[in-house]
Structure 1
Amino acid sequence: MKKLGLSTGWQLFVAIAGVALILVMATLVGIRLYFIHNFNNYLSAQETQRMQELAVLIADYYERQTERDADFRFEQLGELERGGVRRLLAGLSIAQWRESRQQPQSDGLDPRRLSFRNLALYSADGDLLFGRDINDPIQVSIVEPDSGVTLGYLRTGRPQGPLQPIDEVFQQQQMAAILLAGFAALLVAALVAAILARRLRRRVSTLTRATRRLAAGAYDVEVPQQGRDELTALAADINALARTLRAAAGQRQAFMADIAHELRTPLTILQAELEALEDGIRHLDAQEMGLLQGQVRQLTQLVDDLHMLADADAGSLRYQWQPLTLNGWLQEQWPVLSHQAEQAGLKARLKLPLQPLSIKADPQRLQQLLMNVWSNSMRYTDAPGEVELELAQVDNAVQLIVRDSAPGVAESAMKDIFRRLYREEGSRNRRSGGSGLGLAICERIAQAHAGTLTATQSALGGLQICLSMPDPGVTSQ
């Protein structure tokens, strides 16, 4: 057969590695966003610190100017351009700065430290003195050192990237480290995925081989069970299926052997009798005819029972459902049942409740069940003995119980009572008669009535068979 698509191992690898890749990528994206967020906060903190240093220097400059000129006002700083702030910080007056603005001077400060991309100065009333309005700014207050009065405010834009070359180098190093860690995580994830996929593929292959062997008719399969996952549960189910198929195959072989034996016995007798008639050893009289007819009846019963059991297994037995009052119906059956017990040398008793019990049933099939169970007691109960038929209501069920006296049935054999062609004595000599299919047919009829048929030890010392059916309600006649 031509294989289509990826194998199970590759599918498992792709699935596990794909999930791992998604998780790693999501983690890397999250780490990168988290780093950028915190890096920008770090840059904002640096910018705030520089702004605070600048605010202190401006406050000192303002204090020196007021000492020189009592009429000097903070708003006069608005006459300065942004590039002249460094000179103010160097201690120059406004007039001196204006005279020397065209002459480069060293102010003793690091111009890179006090350089801002956007800088705006505001008065204490919020009036813009120089610069321009900035959206989402960093703001610090300019406070007079002695009085603590707020003179104005400095504002600058929040950094959206590295401010200094060292910041950019640091950011690049961190991004490279994150990518390297992500690549290493992907390699580890791929290795783990390969190991897991290989292990799972081996387990799936074991299950596949086991199912193929089962399909080929080899029921001696035993799949190893390791772990507690779904594959282990599937292995347990396959083992259970193999045991069931082994048991079914054994039962089928035993059933065929039993059928062959059941057919061989009357056929052998018929063949021997006919050969005796042909050779003139026996004469065709009434006794001989009765013997031959008896063997034919046994064959006919066996074939009819097999046919009925096959119909019951296939669900093709027809039922005529109707309301049935069991008290009166059992009284109608009792004369025949008690006569059979009398002929078998058994004492028969019928126990009926005072309250009539009604169910929905097929009277003909129910009669067939009762006759089979009753005949079983007649066949296997030693005389003199007892046999009892009881109708009772237990909880929400109507029970029809047949119990007899010794001999009993071993507890270990109770589960086999309803097996086809089963006889508790273990022989096939037909001493007790019957096809060995009656109780199996009874079980199917009980199931069709939504009931159960169970076998237990009898209080009389023999076997008790109980038919339990759901009670639709107790009605009075």
Structure 2
Amino acid sequence: MLALITVNLSTSFNDFVNEAEHKQVVNLKSRIIAFYQENGSWELLKGNEALWKEMLGANTKSSLRAPTHSMDANKQTEDSISTLSHLLQTQKRLSLYDINKQVIIGRRSISDNPYSETIELDGEQIGWISLIPSELLEGSPGNEFLAQQYKNYYIIALSVIALALITAWLFSRHLVSPISSLINGTFTLIKGNYSIRIEKKTNDELALLSDNVNVLAETLDKNQSNRSKWMSDVSHELKTPLTILRGQLIGIQDGVFKADEQRVQLFIDQIDSMGNIVNDLYQLSTTDVGGLTYKKEPLNPIQILLQVAESFSAKFKQKELSVDCTQIAALISDEKCNVLADRDRLRQLFVNLFENAYRYTNAQGCIQINANIIEQNINIQMQDSAPGVPLTIQGHLFERFYRLEPSRNRDSGGSGLGLALCKQIVDAHQGTITTSDSSLGGLSINITLPKHRSYPQ
């Protein structure tokens, strides 16, 4: 592109200069003819540099006046030509020869001049005027002007290239930096360091990918930290019924106890207890944070909550429990409540919460459900009536196998895993679940889930 520009500049400039100098020659010819007509020969001018310069100077002045016709239209053009000719030192490249091509003034041989024109007076040739074009003369002002323009173009081109390279480098850094962070983050995860979190540097699809990688890292980190505690809790919970069974069987073997119906029923109860623990552990494993069984989709959790509440209506009647869902009914069709969630896991979450409220709320009590949208989250609150839970105990309710004695124990049907399951389901949806005192006198479960974000395709 730069080569085309320089070639075009050179061609256009030389054409313009040649045209201007041709007009200068035409104007000079009339002056020379007038001189010849007045003197009848070239003798007075031959070798007379002073007279030649005077004649050329007069020509410049006359050319500045321009022809009388179309004066207004051509004045600016004539002035430009005269000024350009002066700057290009056109006079120094002019030569005058007689009819026999013998030098009058200028270069000795007419052949030294690439351009020559005849001079005629009343139809009769009286001499020759010759010119060396500016572009053919090394070191001429025209060539120096072009050289300076080429230099300026090269400087501009190099500046543009440098600016483009700097801009491309900055843009590539902006583009590559989040990708590099993602690559480094995933390599760190591969090495087993799950505490890594990737900083979001953009607000596009790469930001969504960073969020997903961070969720994966959080999942792996929590699963790793839970693994040892998981085994410890399981062994502890299974140890109690196994110890009872072993003690009873050894007693029968030693003749201390008889294998009567009451003793067999005790064995069955302990085995059922272990079976319940195993079932709850299985549910806990499948709902663990980041479990591969999660199939998330945009959905309205209020719809699922109301469906589960309806399914518990018959069970609540057994204890004469009332459920108030009037406040959330208006949100059932509000798309602003949509979250990215697994439908079955949310159903399991609400089932566990209603089951917990059913077990530990006194008969003829009440359960109240509220929900609202705050910024980018949807908050769901489930309150029940007495009995309440001391604040010092509430922080332990989401621990695995934790029971609040005497109301929360294995004999009442709970394994101590229900609220732990709820916490893991909420965690898997990047939400929070907390407890507080209920205004109804019991316990309040507060759930916060992030609203679904729509990214451009």
Task: Give the TM-score normalised by structure 1.
Answer: 0.48
TM-aligned CA distance change 1:39 to 1:329, over 3 Å: closer
TM-aligned CA distance change 1:351 to 1:247, over 3 Å: closer
State the alpha-carbon separation in 2 of the partners of residues 246 and 271 from structure 1.
38
TM-aligned CA distance change 1:465 to 1:107, over 3 Å: same
The equivalent of 1:259 in structure 2 is 234
Q: What residue identity is the alignment partner of 1:106?
A: V
The equivalent of 2:75 in structure 1 is none
Displacement of 1:377 in angstroms is 3.9
State the alpha-carbon separation in 2 of the partners of residues 204 and 435 from structure 1.
46
| Residues 14-47 of structure 1: per-residue CA shift (max 9 Å, x gap) | xxxxxxxxxxxxxxx51x4444444445544553
Percent identity, aligned pairs only, is 23
Query: In the alignment, which of 217, 222, 225 is matched to residue 250 of structure 1?
Result: 225
Displacement of 1:373 in angstroms is 3.6
1:408–1:462: 8 Å Cα contact kept in structure 2?
A: yes
Q: What residue identity is the alignment partner of 2:439?
A: A
User: Is the partner of 1:264 in helix, strand or coil?
Assistant: helix
Query: In the alignment, which of 398, 401, 405 is matched to residue 386 of structure 2?
Result: 405
Displacement of 1:259 in angstroms is 1.9
Q: What residue identity is the alignment partner of 2:137?
A: Q
Query: In the alignment, which of 307, 314, 331 is matched to residue 332 of structure 1?
Result: 314
2:308–2:351: 8 Å Cα contact kept in structure 1?
A: no
State the alpha-carbon separation in 1 of the partners of residues 322 and 210 from structure 2.
53
1:373–1:402: 8 Å Cα contact kept in structure 2?
A: no
The equivalent of 1:86 in structure 2 is 96
Q: What residue identity is the alignment partner of 2:444?
A: Q
Displacement of 1:107 in angstroms is 0.5
User: Is the partner of 2:104 in helix, strand or coil?
Assistant: coil
1:409–1:462: 8 Å Cα contact kept in structure 2?
A: no
The 5 A counterparts of 1:225-244 are 241-244=216-219
State the alpha-carbon separation in 2 of the partners of residues 108 and 156 from structure 1.
12
The 5 A counterparts of 1:51-450 are 51-64=22-35, 86-87=96-97, 97=99, 101=100, 105-110=102-107, 117=114, 162-166=135-139, 211-219=186-194, 241-285=216-260, 287-309=262-284, 314=293, 331-338=313-320, 348-351=321-324, 372-377=352-357, 387-390=365-368, 401=382, 403-408=384-389, 410=391, 421=400, 423=402, 434-439=414-419
1:404–1:464: 8 Å Cα contact kept in structure 2?
A: no
Query: In the alignment, which of 47, 61, 82 is matched to residue 18 of structure 2?
Result: 47
| Residues 239-270 of structure 1: per-residue CA shift (max 9 Å, x gap) | 77545422221123322322222222211222
User: Is the partner of 1:87 in helix, strand or coil?
Assistant: strand
2:237–2:401: 8 Å Cα contact kept in structure 1?
A: no
Displacement of 1:58 in angstroms is 0.8
Q: What residue identity is the alignment partner of 2:415?
A: S
2:325–2:369: 8 Å Cα contact kept in structure 1?
A: yes
TM-aligned CA distance change 1:169 to 1:300, over 3 Å: same
State the alpha-carbon separation in 2 of the partners of residues 242 and 262 from structure 1.
30
The equivalent of 1:80 in structure 2 is none
| Residues 213-248 of structure 1: per-residue CA shift (max 9 Å, x gap) | 53243435588x799899x98999867754542222
**Where does structure 1 lack aligned partners over 5 or more consecutive residues?**
1-28, 70-84, 89-96, 124-128, 131-153, 317-321, 339-347, 469-477
State the alpha-carbon separation in 2 of the partners of residues 462 and 175 from structure 1.
88
Q: What residue identity is the alignment partner of 1:260?
A: S
TM-aligned CA distance change 1:202 to 1:330, over 3 Å: closer
Number of residue pairs the alignment of both structures matches:
344
The equivalent of 1:12 in structure 2 is none
1:270–1:292: 8 Å Cα contact kept in structure 2?
A: yes
State the alpha-carbon separation in 1 of the partners of residues 356 and 394 from structure 2.
16
Q: What residue identity is the alignment partner of 1:299?
A: M
State the alpha-carbon separation in 2 of the partners of residues 332 and 226 from structure 1.
49
State the alpha-carbon separation in 2 of the partners of residues 257 and 444 from structure 1.
18
Displacement of 1:163 in angstroms is 1.3
Q: What residue identity is the alignment partner of 2:25?
A: L
TM-aligned CA distance change 1:351 to 1:242, over 3 Å: closer
The equivalent of 2:440 in structure 1 is 460
Displacement of 1:51 in angstroms is 3.0
Q: What residue identity is the alignment partner of 1:110?
A: R
| Residues 129-182 of structure 1: per-residue CA shift (max 9 Å, x gap) | 99xxxxxxxxxxxxxxxxxxxxxxx9999x7x9412446996998899899999
| Residues 304-329 of structure 1: per-residue CA shift (max 9 Å, x gap) | 2334455666369xxxxx9x988986
**Where does structure 2 lack aligned partners over 5 or more consecutive residues?**
41-94, 296-303, 333-343, 449-457
The equivalent of 1:143 in structure 2 is none
Displacement of 1:417 in angstroms is 5.7
TM-aligned CA distance change 1:332 to 1:218, over 3 Å: closer
State the alpha-carbon separation in 2 of the partners of residues 333 and 113 from structure 1.
123
State the alpha-carbon separation in 2 of the partners of residues 228 and 311 from structure 1.
34
User: Is the partner of 1:107 in helix, strand or coil?
Assistant: strand
Q: Which moved more, 1:208-217 or 1:275-284?
A: 208-217
Q: Which moved more, 1:162-171 or 1:282-291?
A: 162-171
Q: What residue identity is the alignment partner of 2:22?
A: M
